[in-house]
Amino acid sequence: MKLEKVLSILMYVLLAVSAILIVSMMMNLSDDKADATMGTWINTNLSWSYILLGASTIIALVFALIHTFSDKAAAKKGLTALVFAGVVLVLAYVLASDAIPQFYGVDKFVADGSLTNTVSKWIGTTLYATYILLFLTIIAIAVAPLTRLLK
């Protein structure tokens, strides 16, 4: 049996199980908040969706890694993108300050511990990374027509 046929059958089985779970939950819905059956069906559907999400994530990562390692050009492009992202992240981290900004209501966030020097450093890092990527995007947009003209 071909792999496509097996995968097609598996997809329809997963679809059927999902449909049965959804229909069963819909048939057991009630306005009574103390109804344990409704909570059970909701938990069952949530667990099923978590299983599907986890399985699809693992499958997507495995096939992406297989494709990357089987194609040298794809591996080189992927590694280049990771190195570029790492350089941008390190540069943004170096530029960011860990000083807590002063604004109205900051005392509440500092008092409950949700705003620390580390959090402030990472907020600054993401802002600087956004600025760096925006700057590089603007340069790429401006330079692309010029390089096309020179060719």
What tokens were used for 27? 């048939």
As a whole number, mean pLDDT of residues 124-128 equals 94
Residue 69 vs residue 20, higher pLDDT: 20
DSSP 23-69: HHHHHT--S-TT-HHHHHHHHHHHHHHHHHHHHHHHHHHHHHHHHHH
Phi (first) and psi of residue 35, to 5 degrees = -70, 115
As a whole number, mean pLDDT of residues 77-90 equals 92
Q: Kindly list the distances between the CA atom of residue 120 and the CA atoms of 55, 66, 72, 90, 111, in Å, as whole numbers in the listed order.
A: 35, 38, 40, 16, 14
User: What band does 13 get if pLDDT is binned at 50, 70 and 90?
Assistant: very high
pTM of the predicted structure, to 2 decimals: 0.56
Specify the range with the lowest mean pLDDT, choosing from 5-14, 44-53, 86-95: 5-14
As a whole number, mean pLDDT of residues 8-37 equals 84
As a whole number, mean pLDDT of residues 109-125 equals 86
